[in-house]
Amino acid sequence: MYETEEELEWLQALLDESQRRSGPHVRSIFGRERTLSARQVSLHRRGVKQVAFATVNSAGEPRVAPVDSAFFHGRFHISTDSRSFRAKNLRKRPDLSLTYFEGADPLIIVHGIAVFIETNQPEFGQLDSEWVKAYGKSTLELSDSVAFIRADPTTMLAYSFHPERFLPPGV
């Protein structure tokens, strides 16, 4: 877990506010008793895992694809080639959505804004090390123009039908 106590407090406030703003249909399925805490999300989302990542192309058409992601300092990060259609779309239209799920339990939904992290930024190396742990090689070995995209969330919802399965150790 990379999140500081301050980041966990920020993330918990975001989760609480997102739950409060959610519609009646979402609240009827995932009530407060099924909501995961910031600490539960952070502990469960260690390492590189797949998410469904959605953008919009120049014609306004939605595009979704499975991509690798890491949860780092309270935000999801994905890797992509800077020259990809996904990257080009996000540079023009930075709105994004992503969903992490294992069946329907747990389920984490994010809506937010893309922020590019290029190879010359300090955060890049820390993120790249997560890919090295997962795959045994740097993202730079896969592409000379790789970038990470941080999803700065405006909404994050995190649910589980069995939230007790995601309690922090020692609780």
Q: Say what the pTM is.
A: 0.92
- For residue 118, the domain's CATH number is 2.30.110.10
For residues 80, 81, 86, 88, the Cα torsion angle rounded to the nearest 10 degrees is 140
Is 122 domain-assigned?
yes
Is 118 within a domain?
Answer: yes
**How many of the other CB atoms lie within 10 Å of CB of 43?**
17
Q: What residue numbers bound the domain in which 88 lies? A: 5-162
Residues 27-62: tens digit of each pLDDT: 887 777 889 999 999 998 989 999 999 999 989 999
pLDDT of residue 101: 92
User: Is residue 170 included in any domain, yes or no?
Assistant: no
Is 167 within a domain? no
The tokens describing 103, both together, are: 């069946």
What pLDDT was estimated at residue 171? 58
Assigned domain for 52 exists: yes
With respect to residue 169, please indicate whether it lies within any of the assigned structural domains.
no
- Residue 168 placed within a domain: no
The verdict on residue 92 lying in a domain is yes
In angstroms, the CA 36 to CA 164 distance is 9
Place of tokens 């506010």: 17
From 24, 31, 17, select the one nearest 155 (Cα to Cα).
Answer: 17
Q: Are strands 95-101 and 62-72 parallel, antiparallel or unpaired?
A: unpaired
Please say if the pLDDT value at position 170 is more than 70: no
At 18, give phi and psi (nearest 5°): -65, -40
Number of domains in the chain: 1
